[in-house]
Structure 1
Amino acid sequence: MIKLTGIAAGLALTSLASAIAAPLAAAQGQAPTDTMMNEQVKSYDWVRPQADYVRRVVMVPMRDGTKLYTVIVFRKGTTEGPILLSRTPYNADKSTSRNRSQKIEEILPVSDAEFVNDGYIRVYQDVRGLDGSEGDYVMNRPLRGPLNKTKVDHATDAYDTIDWLVKNVKESNGRVGITGSSYLGFTSLMALIDPHPALKAAVPQSPMVDGWMGDDWFHNGAFRTFGFDYDLGQTVKKGGGAVPRGTGDDYTAYLQAGSAMDYAKAYGLTDLPVTRKVLEHPSYDAWWQGQAVDKLLGARKLTVPTMLVVGQWDQEDSYGAPAVYQALKANGTPSDMVSLVIGPWRHSQVNYEARELGALKWEGDTGLQFRTRYMKPFFDCHLKTNAPACETPPVLTYATGENRWEVSPQWPAGDYTPLYLAANAGLSWAKSQAGSDSYVSDPAKPVPMLPRPITMSGDEWKTWLVHDQRFVDGRTDVLSYSTGVLDKPLHIKGAPKVDLRAATSGRDSDFVVKLIDVYPQENTANPAMAGYQLAIGIEIFRGRYVDGFSAPKALEPGKTYGFKWSLPNVDHVFLPGHRIMVQVQSSLFPLYDRNPQSWVPSIMEAKPSDYVKATETIHWGGDAASAVWLPVAKD
């Protein structure tokens, strides 16, 4: 045997490695790797042959030639599958690659599992102008007509997409449903206008319907400042996201900035076309009215069975779904064509685990319960081949307080009964003698929406509507009225209505009313809820619109006006041992911009000198009896 050492040994080992590598590379059909070659490759298909699903990416052509990025996902072996479509501004690629797994339940949102595991074909599409889709992006693109001179909108894009899908997805049965929450709820509703014949069912969830009346940008005329962050994140290709105001107290940041216009200018937001549009339309003019989807649908005959869904504590879009329901019922739409669902959820929580909300706990996962017991059977009966019979409830709500699902024949499902503000900070079912209470509203010290510091993002934002209201109870600029301890349950099913008789020393004013469930002071079964003041509904009204939302006017100092508006829709049981409370205040900051309380043509452009203190007087009893009208159910 010859023993090799040193250089000779190294050469021998190199030759041996080459001798091994060459056959290996040849066996794999590859040339030996050049150690100095460019090591970047064009792409990698993360969907491997062992995946239990098919994932296709296609560019679907629209009638104007624009192509929209569309992802189609279904379990291998699927045939005669119903198509479930969502049209999104939040990235179809990411929506279908939650995890880069080889299991279909892992790559899709958790709410899709029940569907794809039963043969559904799931489709996500980027709306035009965003992410992978071609074309120009317009926020909540209006229907073609006076506000949209082009020939395309979300209705035509949905039609063209469905037409392509039923002709090209051979694994389908040619029947399509559409769903999605928030903006996706809006695109779902728009698909119902001149719908494609293959569209057989829709479940719009927390849809953006009327951005001025009660969804994202305004509520009854009061501007919602968090919309600036959404505008920046939604319409800027590079450098977007949240407004760069730092990580401190949002209350301080907005207060120091001044008016909405001053804030927008300070952070360069007036460079955004969508922000300029909102700032230019502070009142409910034709621009807002022409985009209101409830009005568009109410003027048409609904031809697609639709289940409208909203959360009772939806912090973003509480208005839209009930408004569409009421508009459709008003035009004679029967219950087998439109139904309403109100769950115990925050915005879009229906699509996630929903066992709790803030300090509140439910009987199991209410989101999963709804999806499996009601939503999927609704789609099944309209979309499946050899479909089962439809047994969709006309109205499905979750009775918080007693924590159970309920079915009602219509909505509201209670008889409106006034609960009057009364003397000694009381509430009474009977009208009392006349009296009043007053407080000073100071724009320099607005009432906060949450205990400070405030960050309108994350879990704090998601749960703020169910936060314990004791943090403001007792402030000198907040009035609290309460019943005695209840000796029997009180069940309300509908949208409580506010009739506030009030006067101001200023020329304008905001009024905020909160309907609150006050828990017993002692609660050994759940000590965290002892004395808890749970807001059942919170809503604002901007005083200048007392005579109409399209006709703002200055208020006459000292004159008593009747300000009337509604709180969000609820199904709630006030239990024995609890009390009912109503709080009244004139700011809810920084969620809503401050009312200067002097007269300015546009509050958006108020100057520092315009912000003044005002004395607000709330009348009760007699001919000026303030009340909250509760939709009391007959259990």
Structure 2
Amino acid sequence: MTLIRPLVLSLMMAMPAVSHALTDKGTYKALPSETPTTFKPTNDAFDYETRDVMIPMRDGVKLHTVILVPKGANKAGILFTRTPYDASEMTSAIASGHLAVAVSHDDEPSDVLVQDGYIRVVQDVRGKYGSEGDYVMNRPLHGPLNPTPVDDSTDAYDTIDWLVHHVPESNGRVAIIGISYDGFEPLMAIVHPHPALKASAPMNPMVDGWMGDDWFHHGAFRQQNLEYIYEQTASRKNHYKWPANYADDYQFFLEGTSAGAVAKRYGMEQLGFWNKVVAHPAYDAFWSQQAVDKILGREPVSVPTMIVASLWDQEDIYGAFAVYKAMAPHDDAHRLFLVAGPWFHGQEIGDGSSLGAVRFGSNTGLYFRQNILRPFLAHYLKDAPDLPAPVNAFVTGENRWETAPSWPMSTGDTLNLVPEADRSLALAHGGHGTGTGTSGSVEYVSDPTHPIPYRPRPVGPMSGTGWQHWLTNDQREASARPDVATFTSAVLTAPVRISGAPHVHLVASTTGTDADWVVKVIDVYPDQVAKQPEMGGYQLGVSMDIFRGRYREGFTTAKPIQAGASLPYDFSLPNANHVFLPGHRIMVQIQSSWFPLYDRNPQTFVPNILLAQPGDYVTATQKIITGGDATYVELPLGR
């Protein structure tokens, strides 16, 4: 102790004196802060003005809305988007005084916006980010699924009414536009629309989440969307992020067994929308009553509407064409437009020169924005004289745009692709099948412990280029597997043009009591392609989808399959607008898993596959009945 005291004293003597910095009460005097309590930026150099407002709805809830007004705007049209993805971020993607740069977000066709001087308005839907109220995924219209007096239609109406009375620079005309979920909103806005709504442009819209958009395809659950459901519904501002503990989603979901087991591991029983998905695995009233194509099929086309579809839309490939088909019979005033481009989900507002390895010979996205979208908006917001054709569709294979009065651009004739027992593919015109060979069969073993990956491993999440391009991936890896039945035509000597949705007539048996059927129509390139060597022998998916066998007798009720019985399965594939060129071949692939995008069918019938247990998963032998009038794919021939 005697050694410690002198050391402490010496240290104390070496410390600087600080007593002069103390007040009488013994506290430190504050050093003045260099940060103001409130800072008001001056944006004099900006070419636009930002107004951040809360707009009241009819029930008193206020919705956060960002209004961007170009400097000098006078009697300008309003371009309006409603989003669950943060209006503030969408309107300030990059800190810039230039409007075109600030709104360079994935949902912004900024070149059209800036060139034509529109006022830009982006709003958080109720319950998300800066908006008040409760969030409900794709909030249904007022009715059996929504007893409240408010929905996305009324919110759009009330917002438009406020805008035309509170934005003096506007001409009182509004167009609503958006992609995906933001594309669902323009469809809701045209249900009992506000008189100032002069145009609607739903792009790649969410329409029917069970039949073929985000949540299911013909009953098969898109389990990789668990991440989206988790992040989108667990908090108002998407604070909770999906923990990515695996580099390969294939391994993650394989070890997780069922989608329900994975969801339970992540505490998703706390999430209202996930509980609804689990409670409604079949196409019951919960899904059918909120299907937007069914709703709009009962409405007159009162607002000019341009529906934009992507032919390789990896997220919402069903909805755009379904809405067009439902609305077309009610288009007495010719207000309905359709665009079909060679794009992934949302690619139309980016560079559309290629998709994965497939090249299109021009920037199809720029062409769409400048030559189709721009005149459509200008006509209804600015009285510009020109309008695009009712239908603009890109012909893949021949790589050109084509116009028509209606969709599909078909002759009304069909070509049947008829699988044969020797793995060949016969081409027959009209009738039922009419294959050239005798009846036979092709078998494969479907093992749920080794499901077929839908894209090369490691399988990443539903984001990034790997996800965007997967529908155009080379299908050779699948065709080489023993659990894929592959049928190939002879080399074509003349072009085969298709336009519309191929229809599958599958006759098959299984040793299980449930089964999934994945059918792909594929364009097989010549063995060598001089100008693009990597395309030699390429197997390009033109139209592909999955069907859950338990719904073969109807989508509303799941029923077990009779083991060993040869039964028919009829379903449609996504729309295509394609030319199989001379020198190419046509291929059909049939398989029983597409993993991990779609959950595995246990191949034993259980009441709810989302809740299947490890012991439910069994190996099954699948038999495709070939030849004659058994299995065939009906192609709609184009003009």
> Do both share a fold (TM > 0.5)?
yes
By how many angstroms is 1:622 displaced?
2.9
Q: Provide, for residues 128-156 of structure 1, a one-character-per-residue CA deviation record: whole Å limited to 9, x for no partner.
A: 11111111111111101100111100000
Return closer, same or farther for 1:98/1:437 CA change in 2, 3 Å cut-off: same
**Which residue of 70, 73, 91 maps to 2:68?**
73
CA RMSD of aligned residues (A): 1.5
**Any residues of structure 2 matched to 1:395-434 within 5 Å, and which?**
395-414=391-410, 415-430=413-428, 431-432=435-436, 433-434=438-439
By how many angstroms is 1:43 displaced?
4.8
By how many angstroms is 1:45 displaced?
4.5
Quick check: 1:335–1:394 contact (8 Å CA) kept in 2? no
CA distance in 1, matches of 2:96, 2:531: 43
**Which residue of 454, 476, 480 maps to 1:474?**
480
By how many angstroms is 1:406 displaced?
0.8
Runs of at least 5 residues in structure 2 that lack an aligned partner in the other structure: 1-28, 429-434
Greater alpha carbon shift after TM alignment, 67-76 vs 412-421 = 412-421
Q: Provide, for residues 169-212 of structure 1, a one-character-per-residue CA deviation record: whole Å limited to 9, x for no partner.
A: 11111011001000011011000111000001111000001100
CA distance in 2, matches of 1:183, 1:223: 19
Quick check: 1:46–1:100 contact (8 Å CA) kept in 2? no
> What SS is found at the alignment partner of 1:444?
coil
Q: Residue type matched to 2:100 in 1?
A: E
Return closer, same or farther for 1:42/1:616 CA change in 2, 3 Å cut-off: farther
CA distance in 1, matches of 2:172, 2:474: 50
Q: Residue type matched to 2:451 in 1?
A: P
- 1:102 aligned to 2:107? no
Q: Provide, for residues 432-463 of structure 1, a one-character-per-residue CA deviation record: whole Å limited to 9, x for no partner.
A: 32111011111111111112111123111111
By how many angstroms is 1:254 displaced?
0.2
- The answer for the alignment partner of 1:314 in structure 2 is 313
- The answer for the alignment partner of 1:463 in structure 2 is 469
- The answer for the alignment partner of 2:551 in structure 1 is 545
CA distance in 2, matches of 1:458, 1:241: 20
Quick check: 1:468–1:532 contact (8 Å CA) kept in 2? yes
> What SS is found at the alignment partner of 2:625?
strand
By how many angstroms is 1:364 displaced?
2.3
Return closer, same or farther for 1:103/1:239 CA change in 2, 3 Å cut-off: closer
**Which residue of 83, 90, 105 maps to 1:88?**
83
By how many angstroms is 1:338 displaced?
1.1
Return closer, same or farther for 1:273/1:630 CA change in 2, 3 Å cut-off: same
- 1:280 aligned to 2:286? no
Q: Residue type matched to 1:305 in 2?
A: P
> What SS is found at the alignment partner of 1:226?
helix
Quick check: 1:178–1:201 contact (8 Å CA) kept in 2? yes
- 1:388 aligned to 2:363? no
**Which residue of 53, 62, 71 maps to 2:57?**
62
Q: Residue type matched to 1:127 in 2?
A: V
By how many angstroms is 1:390 displaced?
4.4
- 1:452 aligned to 2:457? yes
CA distance in 2, matches of 1:363, 1:46: 46
> What SS is found at the alignment partner of 1:440?
strand
Q: Residue type matched to 1:131 in 2?
A: Y
**Which residue of 157, 178, 182 maps to 1:180?**
178
By how many angstroms is 1:388 displaced?
2.5
Q: Provide, for residues 97-154 of structure 1, a one-character-per-residue CA deviation record: whole Å limited to 9, x for no partner.
A: 1111111111113512322332211110110111111111111111011001111000
Greater alpha carbon shift after TM alignment, 164-173 vs 351-360 = 351-360
Report the number of matched residues.
Answer: 597
CA distance in 2, matches of 1:227, 1:522: 38
Q: Provide, for residues 498-519 of structure 1, a one-character-per-residue CA deviation record: whole Å limited to 9, x for no partner.
A: 1111111111100000111111
**Any residues of structure 2 matched to 1:249-328 within 5 Å, and which?**
249-328=248-327
- The answer for the alignment partner of 1:135 in structure 2 is 133
Quick check: 2:232–2:238 contact (8 Å CA) kept in 1? no
By how many angstroms is 1:38 displaced?
2.9
Return closer, same or farther for 1:74/1:416 CA change in 2, 3 Å cut-off: farther
Q: Residue type matched to 1:163 in 2?
A: D
CA distance in 1, matches of 2:637, 2:489: 16
Quick check: 1:175–1:198 contact (8 Å CA) kept in 2? yes
Return closer, same or farther for 1:44/1:529 CA change in 2, 3 Å cut-off: farther
- The answer for the alignment partner of 2:220 in structure 1 is 222
CA distance in 2, matches of 1:221, 1:134: 34
> What SS is found at the alignment partner of 2:78?
strand
By how many angstroms is 1:241 displaced?
5.3
- 1:584 aligned to 2:590? yes
By how many angstroms is 1:560 displaced?
1.5
CA distance in 1, matches of 2:542, 2:75: 45
Q: Residue type matched to 2:404 in 1?
A: S
**Which residue of 527, 530, 542 maps to 1:524?**
530
Q: Residue type matched to 1:299 in 2?
A: R
Q: Provide, for residues 331-356 of structure 1, a one-character-per-residue CA deviation record: whole Å limited to 9, x for no partner.
A: x3247211211101000111112221
CA distance in 1, matches of 2:37, 2:506: 65
Quick check: 1:336–1:392 contact (8 Å CA) kept in 2? no
Q: Residue type matched to 1:453 in 2?
A: P
- The answer for the alignment partner of 1:631 in structure 2 is 636
Quick check: 1:116–1:122 contact (8 Å CA) kept in 2? no
- The answer for the alignment partner of 1:13 in structure 2 is none
Q: Provide, for residues 576-607 of structure 1, a one-character-per-residue CA deviation record: whole Å limited to 9, x for no partner.
A: 11111110000000000000111101111111
By how many angstroms is 1:47 displaced?
5.8
CA distance in 2, matches of 1:335, 1:319: 25
- The answer for the alignment partner of 1:212 in structure 2 is 210
By how many angstroms is 1:391 displaced?
2.7
CA distance in 1, matches of 2:217, 2:38: 47
Q: Residue type matched to 1:138 in 2?
A: V
By how many angstroms is 1:35 displaced?
8.2
Relative to the length of structure 1, the TM-score reads 0.92
> What SS is found at the alignment partner of 1:310?
strand
**Which residue of 348, 368, 388 maps to 2:366?**
368
Q: Residue type matched to 2:228 in 1?
A: Y
**Any residues of structure 2 matched to 1:501-520 within 5 Å, and which?**
501-520=507-526
Q: Residue type matched to 1:365 in 2?
A: N
> What SS is found at the alignment partner of 2:388?
coil
- The answer for the alignment partner of 1:439 in structure 2 is 444
Q: Provide, for residues 453-490 of structure 1, a one-character-per-residue CA deviation record: whole Å limited to 9, x for no partner.
A: 11123111111111111111121100111111111211
By how many angstroms is 1:283 displaced?
0.4
